[in-house]
Amino acid sequence: MNALNTALQQTQTTAKETLLTLPHQLKAQLPLSNKLAQQITEQRQIIQNILDGKDHRLMIITGPCSIHDPVAALEYAEKLQQLQSQVADQIFLVMRAYIEKPRTTVGWKGFLYDPNLDGSSDMQLGLEKSRELYLQIIEMGLPIAAEILSPMATAYFDDLLAWGAIGARTSESQIHREISSHMPYSIGFKNGTDGSIQIALDAIHSASHPHQFLGMSQSGLPCILQSNGNPKAHLILRGANSGPNYQLAEIEKIKEKCKGELPALVIDCSHGNSHKNPLLQPEVLRTIVAERSQSHARGIMLESHLVDGQQKISCDMTYGQSVTDGCLGWTKTEQLLLNITDSLRLQSLKRSA
């Protein structure tokens, strides 16, 4: 017994707890205006219409693998907003604004966790700077997308996101399925890193149903959350360690698995689908667009930043280049999306002829 007490005392002296601003406090500190709330509501509905096939446009979720520099992120957002007006008849652009980064083992976990990029893990600053950045992007008129990683973080940003994703490592997680059933926006589930589609299909089924589960209230207290189920859950194909799964032949196999009832489909041009080579993403996207009339893909994901490639975190970093997965630079991204828009317009003309 004495040994147990000693162990408990040692744990208490080494464990460190730092209290954070509560969700409702941060929302009061950095509020969402009624005008912007209405904008987000309308953008969420547009995304749902695209996923339902009621809106013919292709949703393209594009942006950095993960945000590490708010200044560069805002410059990217400005360029994306300018491009939207040129492609709006065929493409609905959503900015990828990921502030959490899942790690296979260890490493930088994202802007929310370590905004100073120095291991100081100032999560209070990360929460504040992330919400501030999100509001700035939304004020430009862009819808934003993020990955749901920490269930504790969702209450801080649930009013801002227009679209969300559950990653390949967490699609099998019960709590992420429950959280997804509670969110007010469309959420896509990725297939497993081993290529398993069933994991994502099970997740979609689970998230679409009501749940009662342990969670955190807006006041920061533990509570029982009652969800109604998310009717907007859908499938994201991201390839696998063994290779891609974006081609029509692979999608037909998935349709057979679903007995012909394939969920709304979004395809990730990165990760396994591009063999983790960001410069192969254009080839993947062109194939998806060429086969879209048969695959019925509703959306795609691109990892894109101001500068091609990736870099390690250091004291001398290239402005606008990813510090996680490699990205396609802006010049290539812009030209690709303009070319894809022309291809989609031509397809529309052929259908109407």
The model's pLDDT over 116-160, given as tens digits with 9 standing for 90+, comes to 999 999 999 999 999 999 999 999 999 999 999 999 999 999 999
- 148 belongs to a structural domain: yes
Alpha-helical runs (H) found in the chain? 2-14, 23-29, 34-52, 70-87, 123-139, 154-157, 174-182, 198-207, 248-257, 281-290, 292-295, 330-352
The residues, ordered by sequence, that sit 6+ positions from 10 with a Cβ below 8 Å of its Cβ are none
- What's the domain range around 215? 62-314+321-348
CB–CB of 265/298 below 8 Å? Answer: yes
303-314 b/e with 16+ CB inside 10 Å = b? bbbbbbebeeee
What pLDDT score does 68 carry? Answer: 98
Say if 163 falls within a structural domain.
yes
Does residue 151 form part of some domain? yes
pTM, to two decimals: 0.94
Q: By the 8 A CB rule, do 21 and 124 touch?
A: yes
53 CB burial (10 A radius; 0-12, 13-18, 19+) = exposed
Query: How large is the average pLDDT for residues 92-109?
Result: 93
- pLDDT grade for 103, boundaries at 50, 70 and 90: confident
| pLDDT tens digits along 312-343 | 999 999 999 999 999 999 999 999 999 999 99
Percent of the chain at pLDDT exceeding 90: 90
* Alpha-carbon gap, residue 47 to 41, rounded angstroms: 10
CATH classification of the domain holding 113: 3.20.20.70
Number of domains in the chain: 1
Identify whether 4 is part of a domain. no
SS3 304: strand
Residue 43 in domain: no
Residue-wise pLDDT tens digits, 51-75: 999 999 999 999 999 999 999 999 9
Range 65-76 burial, b when 16+ CB lie within 10 A, else e: bbbbbbebbebb
The Cβ of residue 192 has, within 10 Å, a number of other Cβ atoms equal to: 19
CA distance linking residue 143 with residue 154, whole number of Å:
17
Residue 7 placed within a domain: no
Backbone φ and ψ for 316, nearest 5 degrees, come out as: -135, 80
Instruction: Give residue 3's pLDDT.
Output: 59
CA distances (Å), origin 287, targets 15, 76, 224, 284, 330: 52, 25, 45, 5, 20
Window from 99-113, 163-177, 265-279, 331-345 with minimum mean pLDDT: 99-113
Any domain includes 353: no
Q: Is residue 228 predicted with pLDDT exceeding 80?
A: yes
Per-residue pLDDT, 261 = 81
User: What pLDDT does residue 11 have?
Assistant: 56
Q: What is the pLDDT of residue 245?
A: 96
> Quick one: average pLDDT of 209-219?
95
Residue 191: DSSP 8-state: P
307 found inside a domain: yes
Average pLDDT for the chain: 94
Give the DSSP letter of residue 279. G
Q: Could you tell me if 285 and 302 are in contact, meaning their C-beta atoms sit under 8 angstroms apart? A: yes
